[in-house]
Structure 1
Amino acid sequence: MRILLVEDEADLASSIQTVLQRQGHVVDHCPGGLEGWNLLSAELARYELAIFDWMLPDLSGLELCRRARAAGLGLPLLLLTARSDTADRVEGLDAGADDYLSKPLAMEELLARIRALQRRHPSYREPLLEAGCYCLDYATGQLLVTTASGQVSVELSAKEQQLMGYFLEHPSQIIPGSRLRNQLWDLHQDPVSNVVAAQVRLLRRKLASYDLASPIETVPSKGYRFDPQAGLQP
């Protein structure tokens, strides 16, 4: 998922971002509530989950929840706070939060809460994503490729999973590099870098190391196209 994290404690935000990225998520972090709202309201379709700290320097997580719901945003909202009274939890949920997690955080519980929110959300993505002769297993990080001589299992890194997953969700479509960058890399990535081309090259090399044909075609001046049947090519 692409996740918006609004947390002003730098060490905690860094820890959360690292843990989520290791799970294959793309995380945009900002320390202030107003900046978080500007990102959320400007990119209504970008985020699939948001994590708000309650106490923020300019706009509270509680107000962020209220604004998101007033704007009709239906993405899951997770509220983080040191407050633990029942009245506070009720206030947070009434403001529009889907769940509430008290500080100090246990990262294992944070991940479990996020998984639960995913399952309850209409856009929940099944652990297996298939297109043609390719099947991506998000639970194991394995890409299963059916070839003419049998099935090959390829172990992917977190970023390779994200990239392959996006291609599997858009088979045979021409996807501009700018769209891949916006969807799969955080907002602080250099917008003119060759990060997409470099990652595509790495993915192609990974598949080649398993003697697999690359399913990713470069379309000059337009982007990339994924062939869901490339694995069956001799």
Structure 2
Amino acid sequence: MKILMVEDDNSVAEMMGMFFAKEGWQQDVAVDGEEAVKMFAANPGKYDLITLDLNLPKKDGIEVAKEVRVISPTVPIIMLTARDSEADQILGLGVGADDYVSKPFSPLALIARIKALHRRIMMEDSQKQSKKQVNEPAFDVVTTHIKISKARREVLFDDQQVANITPKEFDLLYTMAQKPHQVFSRSQLLESVWGYDYFGEERTVDAHIKKLRQKLEKVGANVIQTVWGVGYKFDDSQVQK
């Protein structure tokens, strides 16, 4: 795995680099936000994952994440933050980060999260390849208004494409749309979509659902309903064409 580490603290970069090396991972290091965007833009396909510090010189992690997402909607981003503000953490997720880790953090916990995120992507790529068959169905999920192809990572709302859905947003919609009207708790969605113990950080689901709703509403309507005190459910049966 090739990682772009965006970190201006040399001691943190060196410590992370040692743990990455033990895993056999390669890394490039950018020490400020401008350098990070330039390095990624020069060769987006080079990197399997980005670890992104929130507090950076020249351009902060929020701006870097925004610009990276313009270049690649899918490259996994794990944001590292020393801030305790819940608003900052949700903002990071809202601009496209897949996960965040608060400093000070355990290197082993960070490694576990990287592995879980990468493993899920590899499984999805494998599933894409396995579905390239003559009799492959056009869509895996078809509801009243929504059509979803997991192999193509495509979502249509009344035959209009829903653009710029991130991997986690797609997985959330796919999970719920497979079982319309079923209520999913946040912990169930974390386990199903993130695939590991998220240490109780259930608000990440709320941040991703908010962004997903905005993208769906650009071409259709809100089909993800909040069930107060429980979680979320998919229901497009009441949407008017």
Match of 1:51 in 2: 51
| Local SS of the residue matching 1:45 | helix
**1:62 matched to which residue of 2?**
62
Secondary structure (helix, strand or coil) at the match of 1:121 reads helix
Contact 1:76 1:98 in 2 (8 A): yes
Counterpart residue number, 2:235: none
Alignment pair present for 1:74 and 2:74 = yes
Once the two structures are overlaid, the 10-residue window that deviates more, 28-37 or 83-92, is 83-92
Alignment partner, residue 183 of structure 2? none
Q: Which residue of 2 aligns with 1:35?
A: 35
Give the structure with the larger helix fraction: 2
Matches within 5 A, 1:23-172: 23-122=23-122
Paired with 2:18 and 2:71, the residues of 1 have a C-alpha distance of 30
| Distance in 1 of aligned mates of 2:123 and 2:64 | 21
Q: Which residue of 2 aligns with 1:161?
A: none
- In 1, distance between residues paired with 2:76 and 2:114? 9
Query: How far apart are 1:57 and its partner, in Å?
Result: 0.6
Task: Work out the CA distance in 2 between the residues paired with 1:124 and 1:35.
Answer: 30
Aligned equivalents of 1:3 and 1:80: distance in 2? Answer: 14
1:232 alignment counterpart: none
Query: Could you say if the C-alpha distance between residues 109 and 48 of structure 1 is closer, same or farther in structure 2, counting changes exceeding 3 Å?
Result: same
Question: How many angstroms does 1:123 deviate by?
Answer: 6.8
Compare 114-123 and 78-87 and name the one that shifted more: 114-123
> Runs of 4 or more off by more than 3 Å in structure 1?
122-126
Amino acid paired to 2:9 = E
CA RMSD of aligned residues (A): 1.7
**Structure 2 unmatched ranges of 5 or more:** 127-241
Q: Work out the CA distance in 2 between the residues paired with 1:115 and 1:48.
A: 11
Percent sequence identity over matched residues?
36
Structure 1's 26 and 82: CA in aligned 2 closer, same or farther, altered over 3 A? Answer: same
Cα offset, 1:124, TM superposition: 6.8
* Contact map agreement 1:34 1:58 (CA 8 A) in 2: yes
Conservation of the 8 A alpha-carbon contact between 1:7 and 1:30: yes
Q: TM-score of the superposition, structure 1-length normalised?
A: 0.51
Note if contact 1:16-1:107 (Cα within 8 Å) is conserved in structure 2: yes
Amino acid at match of 1:39: M
Structure 1: runs of 5 or more not aligned = 127-234
